[in-house]
Structure 1
Amino acid sequence: MVTLRQAIILGIIQGITEWLPISSSGHLVLASEFLQLDNSVGFNVFLHLASFFVILFYFRKELFELITGVLNKKKESINYTLYLGIASVPIAVTGFLLNNTLKEMFDSTLSVGISLIITSILLFFSRYPIKKSENISLKNSLVIGFFQAIAIFPGISRSGSTISGAMILGINRKKAARLSFLLAIPAIVGANLLKITEILQLDNFNIVIIGMFTAVTTGYLSLSLLMKIIEKNRFSYFSIYCLILGVITLLFL
């Protein structure tokens, strides 16, 4: 059962690490292990719903323009929505196939340590695009979708893998960030639908809501910070942190 203290601690961790490319799911696993907290898959997934509300508010202007553009049959908006849909397919398939093994992933600090090192590698190579001035296309969106799919493993950052993947393909870092965060919307909704049974079984729902509110507050601040970091082209710096934490996890946990 999740206590108020656990909900607040995990909410803060979720909010801070969801947007920074250091893996919120990995940090939730490590925090649960280190602090002896209840590592509930349902609660961890539900916390990600906080990220959904953060995106809706932070990107409300972009979402409004995208929706109105589709309704007005603007080609650019329709194409962008299509790209989001295509990029969401890999994680939908992966999530469905691995749904029954997610619990084991959330119990393994070994897999988290390895995944953090993989995240570090992706962040490092985001500085070295294979092409320059590439636009988002059907092919690129599918490739970015595969980068997002591997983030189902705790320790691999969803924002880190998708933004890095887009930048490696040669997409402008601001466009890469926007695509990554909008891609989170169907991913978060899908994850909550897959784990709806575990979510409905959560005790003390009032405490769970407090945890989500904490995650929303810290998450908005975290996203604002990351956007500034991306503007200053310091996104890859997080590779050092992920590498160090991954090695420490493998050696000591």
Structure 2
Amino acid sequence: MTWWQAAILGLVQGLAEFLPISSSGHLVLGEYLLGLDTQAADDVTFEVFVHFGTALSILLVYRERIGRILRDAAGALTNGSAWAQAIRPGKIERARGDAIDYEPQPSGGPVPSLRLALYVLITMVPTFLGYLLFEERLEALFGDPRFVCGALIVTGVLLLLTRLRPDPDGVLSPLKAVLVGIAQTCALIPGISRSGSTICTAIYLNVDRKEAADFSFLMLLPVVLGATLLKSLDMVETGMTTGALPLLVGTAVAFGSGVFAIRAVQVLVQRQSLQYFAYYCFAIGIAGLIWI
């Protein structure tokens, strides 16, 4: 892999990870068009680094909220009932020293940090089980660009259906977190957008648009870090076959484009503009089915 190929794929990863157009699908198509072997050892090494770049972009954009989550979670360690109380509907927590108070949660407002941490943990359960049960089948799909093109069309349909829920104003709940987690599990299929499927599912469930986007990106962080860890173990077995320059370029480009994509989606979701990405997915999917 050359440095310019790494820059292109890093850009694709950073943008498509957060824009609702499927990063996995675009990486498969990008590697196919660049003539790269998606099963090669250097592909594993590269994936580790660009995923790390996207994780850094989440940490930068949401650093204050992530910091509150960590502080409140640490404070809850001294309050045995805090986690159970945080999950109750109509309650929010506010850290005051080592104690945690509860008061009614405003409709459509941001999810309090301790409860948000629980919701993120809930979404990880179906995602982990899905990967564990279907790992080999999912890996095989990454070598089929035509399947990816078909899945992109499915992503387009999901995005277009958000027009049926123009003004969601509800809040997250444990059940909604489970359903959003199942949507994330379906996005393990290359071509199904993770951000698109999770944001759309939350909107279908009447979750406020901004909160739906924020939750989608925050719940991605442990998934990306977990995937990076797994790929790192593979990298240890296969060794680093990619040069330092392509890895650094790919990581830096993925980080920078990831920050841009997060900011862009935050604005576009609130402007009800997800359907425009649907048309893009339709165009790429249909074109791929015709020419690949």
Normalised to the residue count of structure 2, the TM-score between the two structures is 0.80
Quote the residue 2:7 is aligned against. 8
**Segment drifting more, 36-45 vs 154-163:** 36-45
Q: Contact 1:49/1:188 (CA < 8 Å) preserved in 2?
A: yes
Quote the residue 2:179 is aligned against. 143
**CA distance in 2: counterparts of 1:22 and 1:30, whole angstroms:** 12
Mapped pair 1:217 → 2:256: yes
Mapped pair 1:60 → 2:59: no
Q: Contact 2:168/2:203 (CA < 8 Å) preserved in 1?
A: no
Q: How far off its partner does 1:45 sit?
A: 5.0
Q: How far off its partner does 1:94 sit?
A: 1.4
Structure 1 residue runs of 4 or more that deviate by more than 4 Å after TM superposition:
none
Mapped pair 1:120 → 2:156: yes
Alignment-mate amino acid for residue 248 of structure 1: A
Q: How far off its partner does 1:77 sit?
A: 2.7
Mapped pair 1:251 → 2:290: yes
Q: Contact 1:131/1:168 (CA < 8 Å) preserved in 2?
A: no
Q: Contact 1:130/1:170 (CA < 8 Å) preserved in 2?
A: no
Q: How many residues of Structure 1 are paired with residues of Structure 2 in the alignment?
A: 252
Q: Contact 2:168/2:209 (CA < 8 Å) preserved in 1?
A: no
Quote the residue 2:128 is aligned against. 92
Quote the residue 2:230 is aligned against. 194
**CA distance in 1: counterparts of 2:62 and 2:69, whole angstroms:** 10
Task: Say which of 281, 285, 289 aligns to 1:242.
Answer: 281
Question: Identity across aligned pairs (percent)?
Answer: 33
Quote the residue 1:203 is aligned against. 241
Q: How far off its partner does 1:92 sit?
A: 1.1
Q: How far off its partner does 1:3 sit?
A: 2.5
Map 1:37-116 → 2, pairs under 5 A: 37-39=36-38, 40=40, 41-42=43-44, 43-73=46-76, 74=93, 76-116=112-152
Q: How far off its partner does 1:67 sit?
A: 1.9
Quote the residue 2:21 is aligned against. 22
**CA distance in 2: counterparts of 1:104 and 1:228, whole angstroms:** 35
**CA distance in 1: counterparts of 2:285 and 2:12, whole angstroms:** 17
Alignment-mate amino acid for residue 35 of structure 1: L
Cα 1:71–1:51 change in 2 (3 A) is same
**CA distance in 2: counterparts of 1:204 and 1:131, whole angstroms:** 47
**Segment drifting more, 233-242 vs 65-74:** 65-74
Quote the residue 2:105 is aligned against. none
Mapped pair 1:162 → 2:162: no
Q: Contact 1:119/1:155 (CA < 8 Å) preserved in 2?
A: yes
| RMSD of aligned alpha carbons | 2.0
**CA distance in 2: counterparts of 1:133 and 1:225, whole angstroms:** 21
Q: How far off its partner does 1:70 sit?
A: 2.5
Alignment-mate amino acid for residue 62 of structure 1: R
Q: How far off its partner does 1:212 sit?
A: 1.1
Q: How far off its partner does 1:133 sit?
A: 3.0
